[in-house]
Each structure stands twice: as C-alpha cells, then as structure tokens.
Amino acid sequence: MVGCQIVSEWNAHTAPVWGLDIAKSGDYAVSAAWDSSIRIWDLKGHTGTATKELKGHTGQVYATRIIDNQSILSAGEDGTIRCWDTDNSSIKYSIDVQFDPESANSAKVQKRAAQEAEGEPDTRIKLELSNRPTIYSMSVSKDSKYVILGCDDYSVKQVSLNAPEEGNPAPYPNLLTSKLRHKGAVYCTALTDEERVISGSGDNKVFMWDMSRDEPVLEMLGHEASVHCIDVMANGRSLLTGSFDHTVQRWDTLSGSSVQKLVVSDKDANVNAVAEVSGGIFIAAGTSDGLVRVFDLRKAEVPLLIIGEKRSGWEVGQDIVSVCAVAVQGKSMICGYSDGQIKQIQVSAASKRKGCIIS
C-alpha cells in the first residue's frame, strides 16, 4: 500500500502553475507559471516559503528544470530558454529558439494571420517574437549539454545548452535539430535512459525518436485525444502518457505497444499530469477536475487514493480548479494548480485509507 498526506499548501503564483521540478535532495522545488515568473521553494519545513523569484520572461512560462544547485532552466511563450543563476537571481544567458519555417499550420501563425487580416493584431504576440514558438515542454539530457523542446509549431527540437557566443553570425546557433512530424502542438517530451526522445502531441500520437533520424523510431497509437503529459518509468522499459481522452496508458518502450490503459475519469476530467510514485507500482494522475488520483498498477480498475477537493475556478467562467502539474522525487510530491496554488504531499509506504479523499 501507499499513503499520501498533504503537509502544506500555499498560494504560490497569481496564475496557473504549469511547470514543476524537485531537487534530487528533496530539499527545494522550482515552479513556473503563467504570471511570467519562476519561484524557488523551501520544502524542508513544509511552510511554502519562497526563497527566490526569477523574472525576465515576457510571456507565460510553461517549463522549468533544475540543472544543479546553482542553475535553473525555464522556457515558455516568448520562445526563449533562460538559464538562471540561483545565487543572485540573475540570467546567466538566454537562448532564442527558432520557429520552424516549414510549419505554416502552427497555432501561432494561424492566430496572428487571422487577426492581422481583421486589422486586430494580438498585442500578446509581439512582432519581434513572431519567429519564435511557444515552448510547452522541456527535457534535459543526463549530461545537461542539451534540451529537448516540445513546441506549438508542431516540432520537437534539440537545442544545445552552451551559452551563445558573442558575435556568432548564425541567427540560431544553438539549434541542433528540429523534427516536424507531428500534426499538432507538442505538449510534452521526455528522455529515456538511452537518450531516446519521447513526444506527445495534439494529434493524439506519441512518438519515440532517435534525433539523428528524420522519422520516429516508434509510433504509439491508442489515445483518442491530445496527449499532454509523459513520464518514463524507472525500470526503463515502460512509459506513461496522459491524455484529454481521460485515460493514462502504459507503453512498452521496445515494441511501442500499449500494455495497460487506465480510465482515470469516466466524466470530463482531462489528464494534465502523470508521474510514477514509489518504485513502479503506483502512479499519480493530475486532472482538470482538481484531483490527483493514485493508482496501483497491479489492480488499476479504481484509484487507490484520491487527493484534494474540487474548488471553484481561478477566474470568472471557470468552474473547477485544475491540477496542471505534478512532480515526484523520492517521498516528496508537489502539485501545481490553475489558481496558482501549490500543494506539498508526503508519500508514505503504507496506508489503510484506501479510496479516501485527502483535503
């Protein structure tokens, strides 16, 4: 059995929290939100204390990753990757990411073209940023030399993390490769132990890539709606994907076949986040109805635990607060919500509270 207890919750941001990462030590976490900020949180005292705030992005921030005790990465709507010095909260360097020139059907291009045709340019999409994609997802290589990005121009990009050289005439010197095979925005990415790339998209498909090849190594087909989250399991043979079809699927990374399908909700709860918990037996799925459901993969017909409660929305017209992000490190779990809140959850080895709602 596994137990989960909310040990702290706090108002972290003024807008939805879409990016979370926990340090390997479990002592601190970093969050990224639509209010354009990144914040570092002390997890040791269960107090929700912010130790640093990092500002510099000009749009919504979707992804953040801890590199080491001195460096944090972030990326989002402005099409840049920022590397932050956590000692003094300054930007070490910024990398501009190129909009794929072959992606004429991306959401941003269509939106801008439609508004310009109507004589109403979108003030949130500045002209100087029109050649940069929104970055929804960011995965870091084991040696921290490059990142994999999922973007709204339908591409999966590999970008070097070397600080850009001054005077380099190339417009995007850090771009290593861009794969344009999805037919929808790429909302999620992951890297396997063998450095294979996994991508999930609005076209309902999951691809596995060898970035030296033009075509995917594997296509994982089975979701009936857009795929918004991926987690590679610790055994290296399985990965988890969550979709707006209300399901989580577990896939074999060698064959690309679906080996398990979990119906997370039979209603309208989309799966925004998924994470392995406690040694490959349990998983957590965060959904648009504001709940985190914990499943035992050995008997996954119904959730083992349901964490949280349904709450009213963060703005007028939104009825339910969504779970947007989940991160797990050891016995620590944190969840980010669409009203800007973060909850810290302690994972224990045993519990008799099967099927309970912890609020």
For range 25-39, the mean pLDDT = 96
Q: What is the pLDDT of residue 8?
A: 93
- Model confidence pLDDT, tens digit, residues 271-317: 999 999 977 789 999 999 999 999 999 987 789 999 988 765 544 44
Q: What is the pLDDT of residue 319?
A: 60
Residue 123 has pLDDT above 50, yes or no: no
CA distance 229 to 292: 14
- Model confidence pLDDT, tens digit, residues 206-224: 999 999 998 999 999 999 9
DSSP secondary structure letter of residue 352: S
Residue 238 has pLDDT above 80, yes or no: yes
Assign a CATH topology to domain 3-358: Methylamine Dehydrogenase; Chain H (2.130.10)
> Which positions ≥6 away from 188 have C-beta within 8 Å?
136, 137, 150, 199, 200, 227, 228, 229, 230, 241
Starting at the earlier edge strand, list the strands of the sheet with 282-287. Answer: 271-277, 282-287, 292-296, 305-307, 357-358
For range 133-148, the mean pLDDT = 96
Q: What is the pLDDT of residue 316?
A: 44
Q: What is the pLDDT of residue 104?
A: 52
For range 314-333, the mean pLDDT = 79
Q: What is the dihedral of CA 38, 44, 48, 50, to 10 degrees?
A: -40
> Which positions ≥6 away from 38 have C-beta within 8 Å?
19, 30, 31, 32, 53, 54, 55, 57, 61, 64, 72, 74, 84
> For the whole model, what pTM was predicted?
0.89
For range 176-192, the mean pLDDT = 94
CA distance 84 to 74: 8
Q: What is the pLDDT of residue 124?
A: 47
**Per-residue pLDDT band at 266 (split at 50, 70, 90):** confident
Residue 342 has pLDDT above 60, yes or no: yes
For range 131-139, the mean pLDDT = 92
